[in-house]
């Protein structure tokens, strides 16, 4: 994986590795949390004949997006989901209804919070969607046609002034969004894609083992070293050392969650400084 160095917000700064080479690893087992999903969400989301849940089954997205959805359910609808259940649901949904690497790659700047990225979202999405949030937020999702239309309705219900704001009041915003935009997204961002089918069937590289890391630490400069990932499933333990350009060494320790077979999210202590790592 190749990434550009990125400085992130304090106190938990974001650390991105410029290059990472896996040396050793073992394939982790995917936990089946379908029953937990049904128990946590089934009171409000109806169950279809095939066991899937309404709304939830019609979309795929990133771990961060699934977390945002669960938090919104808790805050807006009083969903009784504790932190442990929340973490398990995010892992399960990201693993079973996530994005293929090729689907996420064009928009990783949003996941990795790249401050040097200036979006260039094609019209009409630039005006209709990216005037309120990043275009990547929409394009890091894949949904059924019905789900895209429902998402438009959600926007109007949740943000009723959306039609009266700048770039909304000068056009029939809802009509355009519920027809042209919903149809466009259903075509370009469908739930079912060949990329996702291939990624689901592909052998996933193991994460446990030793990794060689080349990176840039915010405020410290370039660094390299070896990190050891241990454990059978998320959260994995991470330990090791990094050597800075001046020859000094900093100890590394922390935890890492792996989502969708490739999305690496870690919280690390490096030389006494807290970092969040996104790969």
Q: Assess whether 151 and 192 both reside in one domain.
A: yes
Look at 28-42, 65-79, 134-148, 247-261 and tell me which has the smallest mean pLDDT.
Answer: 28-42
Q: What is the pTM of this model?
A: 0.86
Give the torsion sign (CA, 33, 39, 41, 46). positive
Residue 21 has pLDDT above 70, yes or no: no
**3-state percent helix, strand, coil for the chain, nearest multiple of 5:** 35, 25, 40
Query: What CATH number did the domain enclosing 227 receive?
Result: 2.40.128
Residue 39 lies in a domain: yes
Reading the block at residue 194, the tokens are 């060949």
pLDDT at 74 over 70: yes
pLDDT-above-70 percentage for the chain: 89
Q: Is residue 80 a part of any domain in this protein?
A: yes
CATH number of the domain enclosing 53: 1.10.760
Domain boundary among 203, 236, 261: 203
Please state the domain count of the chain: 3
Averaged pLDDT, 19-25: 37
pLDDT at 244 over 90: yes
pLDDT above 90 covers a percentage of the chain that reads 80
In a shared domain, residues 46 and 80: yes
Do 213 and 261 reside in the same domain of the chain? yes
Structure confidence at residue 10 (pLDDT): 35
Query: Is position 241 within any domain?
Result: yes
Residue 123 lies in a domain: yes
Report pLDDT for 51: 85
Q: Say what the pLDDT of residue 202 is.
A: 97
Burial grade of 110 (CB within 10 A; 0-12, 13-18, 19 or more) = buried
Contact status, residue 12 vs residue 274, Cβ threshold 8 Å: yes
Is there a single domain that holds both residue 51 and residue 118? no
Mean of the per-residue pLDDT values for the chain? Answer: 88
Rounded to an integer, the average pLDDT of 72-95 is: 95
- What's the rounded Cα separation, in Å, for the pair 68 and 33? 19
pLDDT at 256 over 90: yes
Let me know whether 72 and 110 are in one domain: no
User: Stretch 230-254: mean pLDDT, rounded?
Assistant: 96
pLDDT of residue 78: 93
Specify if 1 maps to a domain. Answer: no
Structure tokens at 144: 């059924």
Domain that holds residue 263: 13-28+204-278
110: preceding bond cis by omega (within 30 degrees): no
pLDDT for the residue 3: 36
CA angle 31, 53, 192 (to 5 degrees): 80
Decide if pLDDT at 1 tops 90: no
Going 232 to 276 to 85 to 137, the CA torsion angle's sign is negative
The pLDDT value recorded for residue 218 is 85
| Six token digits for residue 4 | 């550009």
Q: Are residues 106 and 192 in the same domain?
A: yes
Check whether residue 123 and residue 189 sit in a common domain: yes
């Amino acid at each position: 994986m190749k990434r550009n160095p990125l400085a992130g917000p304090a106190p938990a700064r974001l650390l991105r590795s410029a290059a990472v080479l896996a040396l050793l690893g073992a394939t982790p087992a995917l936990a089946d949390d379908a029953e937990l999903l049904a128990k946590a969400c089934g009171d409000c989301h109806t169950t279809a004949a095939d066991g899937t849940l309404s709304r939830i089954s019609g979309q795929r997205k990133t771990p961060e997006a699934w977390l945002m959805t669960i938090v919104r359910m808790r805050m807006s609808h009083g969903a009784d989901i504790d932190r442990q259940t929340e973490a398990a649901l995010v892992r399960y949904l990201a693993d079973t209804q996530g994005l293929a690497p090729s689907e996420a790659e064009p928009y990783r700047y949003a996941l990795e919070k790249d401050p040097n990225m200036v979006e260039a979202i094609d019209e009409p999405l630039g005006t209709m969607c990216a005037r309120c949030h990043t275009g990547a937020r929409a394009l890091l999702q894949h949904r059924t046609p019905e789900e895209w239309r429902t998402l438009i309705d959600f926007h109007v219900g949740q943000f009723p002034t959306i039609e009266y704001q700048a770039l909304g009041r000068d056009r029939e915003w809802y009509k355009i969004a519920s027809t042209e935009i919903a149809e466009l997204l259903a075509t370009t961002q469908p739930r079912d894609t060949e990329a996702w089918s291939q990624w689901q069937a592909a052998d996933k590289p193991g994460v446990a083992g030793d990794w060689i890391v080349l990176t840039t630490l915010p405020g410290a400069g370039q660094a390299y070293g070896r990190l050891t990932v241990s454990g059978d499933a998320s959260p994995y333990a991470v330990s090791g050392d990094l050597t800075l350009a001046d020859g000094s060494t900093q100890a590394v320790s922390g935890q890492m969650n792996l989502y969708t077979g490739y999305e690496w999210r870690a919280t690390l202590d490096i030389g006494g400084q807290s970092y969040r790592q996104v790969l």
